[in-house]
């Protein structure tokens, strides 16, 4: 008879999570959700001012550390601060990414830009896994990487972003095999998530057509992603590792050819 048990909704129980790219959008939504579930959450971002502000707004269970995930010394120092403050690490959420809304045509894509996107979106999660792994192992922790449905379907001129997210899916299952059984590693691939600030959403609301094209009947919100991440970090997902979870309202399963 196993001693494994389902966790109650308040699953954090004082455990410690590190969430990157958490000053806004999906990362902030994940951090807020984890705080609500009882986690101690360390938010990181390159935006020091906004990061500190949102961490303060989340209350005494949230802390902010400025970090560029592509810089190994930053990662080492951040992990040291987490361990110095809490003495443990139970969850890692790799959300920080460059998603340039102004797509660059291949003929104009310079190598510096390509390398920067890959450094943040793919090398960053590797560095974080490398330096967090010993502490996650000690507490049977979990890693969740934020990939994208763009890893499997593309729009024109998105080569750097798409390649980075496809690589992140491969890195996810590689880490799951390398770090198991003590550490589980999974990926969440969001589709269209309205992660804009509330004031922007009110000023420029989505249309009925935007929502209706989704089989789920609406565009996603950050809480849709946060709920999945929280479950994957919890012990309720103890038999789940090396997997990709698509949170896109069914769009990737819908035929899009015109009639």
Instruction: Name the helix (H) or strand (E) containing 153.
Output: none
Pairing of strands 142-146, 184-190: parallel
So what CATH class is 16-248?
A: alpha beta
**Domains of the chain: which residue ranges?**
16-248
pTM > 0.85: yes or no: yes
Partnered with residue 41 across adjacent β-strands are 17, 62
Residue 93 sits at φ, ψ, to 5 deg, of -120, 110
135 is catalytic: no
Residue-wise pLDDT tens digits, 121-169: 999 999 999 999 999 999 999 999 999 999 999 889 999 999 999 999 9
Of 33, 39, 64, 161, the active-site residue reads 161
Residue-wise pLDDT tens digits, 59-109: 999 999 999 999 999 999 999 999 999 999 999 999 999 986 567 899 999
């Amino acid at each position: 008879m196993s001693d494994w048990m389902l966790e109650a909704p308040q699953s954090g129980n004082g455990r410690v999570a590190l969430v990157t790219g958490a000053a806004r959008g999906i990362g902030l939504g994940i951090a807020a959700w984890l705080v609500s579930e009882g986690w101690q959450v360390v938010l990181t971002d390159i935006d020091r001012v906004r990061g500190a502000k949102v961490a303060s707004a989340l209350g005494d269970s949230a802390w902010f550390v400025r970090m560029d995930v592509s810089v190994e010394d930053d990662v080492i120092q951040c992990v040291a601060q987490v361990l110095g403050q809490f003495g443990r690490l139970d969850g890692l959420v790799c959300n920080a990414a460059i998603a340039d809304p102004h797509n660059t045509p291949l003929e104009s894509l310079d190598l510096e830009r390509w390398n920067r996107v890959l450094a943040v979106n793919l090398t960053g999660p590797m560095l974080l896994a490398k330096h967090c792994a010993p502490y996650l192992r000690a507490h049977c922790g979990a890693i969740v990487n934020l990939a994208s449905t763009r890893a499997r379907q593309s729009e024109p001129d998105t080569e750097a972003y798409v390649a980075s997210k496809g690589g992140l899916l491969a890195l996810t299952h590689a880490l799951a095999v390398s770090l198991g059984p003590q550490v589980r590693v999974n990926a969440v691939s969001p589709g269209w998530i309205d992660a804009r600030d509330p004031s922007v959403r009110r000023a420029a609301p989505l249309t009925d057509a935007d929502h209706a094209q989704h089989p789920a009947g609406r565009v996603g919100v950050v809480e849709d992603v946060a709920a999945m991440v929280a479950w994957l970090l919890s012990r309720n997902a103890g038999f789940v590792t090396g997997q990709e979870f698509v949170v896109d309202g069914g769009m990737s399963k819908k035929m899009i050819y015109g009639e």
